């Protein structure tokens, strides 16, 4: 089976590709335009595989997408390409509208055009899997409510609004045109190769550099944390066994406040990499002004995917977080190249 993975040089996309190459016999075509968050160094371990190839293409470029479908003739598309950082969406929403909405539209249309020309058996077997976020649901007011697949959409940020729009487009293409689609909405991912603008890698790297650990407001925002390798397994499970036209929520069963997460990170760093000058990493925690429209609580009901497909996360928050911290401690060169931008300069042919 040959699969297109859009956004395959990103955090979740690269985890999906590493999993597909190492744990399945799929052929994978990585489609990525390589924005700041796209890092091919996250795929070095699979780059030499005969079942992997990379195509530098923007999903907003319809003509280029058509050429890729003709060239590679995939049996499935896993769509992960997206602008995904909430703070960036507040500062500059236009990129999020362009990539997440217009790009998804272009990809759907290119896929539909290709799919309609397939033999009937191939059309029936084809899948378009759109990977989305729990942020489309807004936030939860109570302490016991959970997001389920029928929860009404109520996005709070330009990012989540653009992802909600993309979800609606995918459902419309399935309902109107019959395109065999699947949608998954996941909770907060964490793990190795995470770009350091996100909470967990930012806190780890700031702590190692003895910089402040900034926490929005009181740090009481609650998130459900999902180890990225568990997510990759779930996405493959949905692609292979999910029911067409269905949505599956994927969560880690790990609700934590942001403040609790940072404290746990500091405790692990105190254990694994004590400060030479003495003291604890927790002393670096600083509270800063909250961001506009900050959702209070996300929590996923992942019972459907467990019930119908038999997926449950392997990692607890404690085991996953320890693996994450150990990975960052053992991969300082990858971190340095991301922090100083050399990973981008090298691919652009700019000498250090």
Q: What is the pLDDT of residue 240?
A: 98
Q: Tell me the per-residue pLDDT of 112-129, one tens digit each, with 9 for 90 and over.
A: 999 999 999 999 999 999
**Ramachandran angles phi, psi of 155, nearest 5°:** -65, 145
What is the Cα–Cα distance from 144 to 330, expressed in whole angstroms? 38
Among 54, 16, 26, 335, which residue's Cα sits nearest to residue 201?
335
Tell me the pLDDT band of 180, cut-offs 50, 70 and 90.
Answer: very high
Share of the chain above pLDDT 90, in %: 86
**Ramachandran angles phi, psi of 77, nearest 5°:** -125, 130
Q: What is the pLDDT of residue 157?
A: 92
Q: What is the pLDDT of residue 84?
A: 84
Tell me the pLDDT band of 352, cut-offs 50, 70 and 90.
Answer: very low
Residue 85 or residue 313, greater confidence: 313
Q: Domain residue spans in the chain?
A: 2-195+225-259+298-320
Residue numbers annotated as active site: 134-135, 159
Q: What is the pLDDT of residue 345?
A: 67
> What pairs with residue 230 in β-bridges?
none
Q: Tell me the per-residue pLDDT of 218-273, one tens digit each, with 9 for 90 and over.
A: 999 999 999 999 999 999 999 999 999 999 999 998 999 999 999 999 999 999 99
Q: What is the pLDDT of residue 294?
A: 87
Structural contact between residues 196 and 202, judged by C-beta atoms closer than 8 angstroms: yes
**Residue 203: partners with Cβ closer than 8 Å, 6 or more residues away:** 213, 261, 262, 265
**Residue 72: partners with Cβ closer than 8 Å, 6 or more residues away:** 2, 4, 29
What is the Cα–Cα distance from 116 to 179, expressed in whole angstroms? 9
Q: Return the top range by mean pLDDT from 154-158, 242-246, 294-298, 332-336.
A: 242-246
pTM: 0.94
Give the pLDDT mean for 152-181.
Answer: 97
Structural contact between residues 26 and 53, judged by C-beta atoms closer than 8 angstroms: no
Residue 294 or residue 186, greater confidence: 186
Mean pLDDT over all residues of the chain?
94
Q: What is the pLDDT of residue 295?
A: 84
By mean pLDDT, which of 52-56, 194-198, 294-298, 348-352 is the weakest?
A: 348-352
Q: Tell me the per-residue pLDDT of 24-82, one tens digit each, with 9 for 90 and over.
A: 999 999 999 999 889 999 999 999 999 999 999 999 999 999 999 999 999 999 999 99
Q: What is the pLDDT of residue 262?
A: 98
Is the pLDDT confidence value at 277 over 70? yes
Give the pLDDT mean for 2-21.
Answer: 98
> What pairs with residue 247 in β-bridges?
183
Structural contact between residues 236 and 20, judged by C-beta atoms closer than 8 angstroms: yes
Give the pLDDT mean for 310-337.
Answer: 95
Q: What CATH class has 2-195+225-259+298-320?
A: alpha beta
Share of the chain above pLDDT 70, in %: 97
By mean pLDDT, which of 69-78, 102-111, 180-189, 287-296 is the weakest?
A: 287-296
What is the Cα–Cα distance from 268 to 341, expressed in whole angstroms? 27
Among 29, 91, 37, which residue's Cα sits nearest to residue 57?
29
What are the CA-CA distances from residue 340 to residues 11, 41, 227, 247 (Å)? 18, 14, 26, 39
Tell me the pLDDT band of 351, cut-offs 50, 70 and 90.
Answer: very low
The angle formed by the CA atoms of residues 301, 303 and 304, to the nearest 5 degrees, is 105
């Amino acid at each position: 089976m040959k699969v297109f993975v859009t956004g395959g040089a990103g955090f979740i996309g690269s985890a999906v590709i590493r999993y597909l190459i190492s744990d399945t016999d799929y052929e994978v075509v990585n489609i990525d335009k390589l924005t700041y968050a796209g890092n091919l160094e996250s795929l070095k371990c699979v780059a030499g595989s005969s079942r992997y190839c990379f195509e530098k293409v923007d999903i907003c470029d319809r003509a280029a997408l058509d050429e890729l479908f003709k060239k590679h003739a995939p049996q499935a598309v896993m769509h992960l390409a997206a602008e995904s950082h909430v703070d960036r969406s507040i500062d500059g929403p236009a990129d999020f509208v362009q990539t997440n909405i217009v790009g998804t539209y272009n990809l759907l249309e290119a896929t539909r055009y290709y799919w309609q020309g397939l033999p009937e058996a191939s059309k029936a077997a084809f899948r378009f899997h759109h990977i989305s976020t729990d942020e489309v649901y807004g936030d939860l007011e109570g302490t016991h409510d959970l997001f389920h697949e029928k929860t009404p959409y109520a996005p709070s940020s330009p990012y989540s609004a653009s992802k909600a729009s993309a979800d609606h487009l995918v459902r419309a293409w399935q309902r109107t045109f019959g395109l065999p689609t699947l949608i998954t909405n996941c909770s907060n991912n964490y793990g190795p190769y995470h770009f350091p603008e996100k909470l967990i890698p930012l806190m780890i790297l700031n702590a190692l550099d003895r910089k402040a650990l900034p926490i929005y407001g009181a740090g009481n925002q609650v998130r459900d944390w999902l180890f990225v390798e568990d997510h990759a397994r779930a996405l493959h499970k949905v692609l292979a066994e999910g029911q067409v036209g269905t949505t599956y929520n994927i969560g880690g069963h790990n609700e934590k406040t942001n403040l609790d997460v940072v404290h746990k990170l500091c405790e692990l760093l105190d254990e694994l990499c004590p400060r030479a000058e003495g003291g604890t990493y927790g002393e670096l925690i600083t509270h800063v002004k909250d961001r506009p429209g900050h959702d209070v609580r996300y929590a996923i009901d992942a019972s459907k995917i467990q019930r119908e497909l038999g997926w449950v996360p392997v990692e607890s928050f404690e085991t996953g977080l320890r693996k994450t911290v150990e990975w960052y401690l053992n991969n300082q060169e990858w971190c340095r190249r991301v922090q100083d931008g050399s990973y981008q300069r090298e691919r652009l042919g700019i000498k250090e």
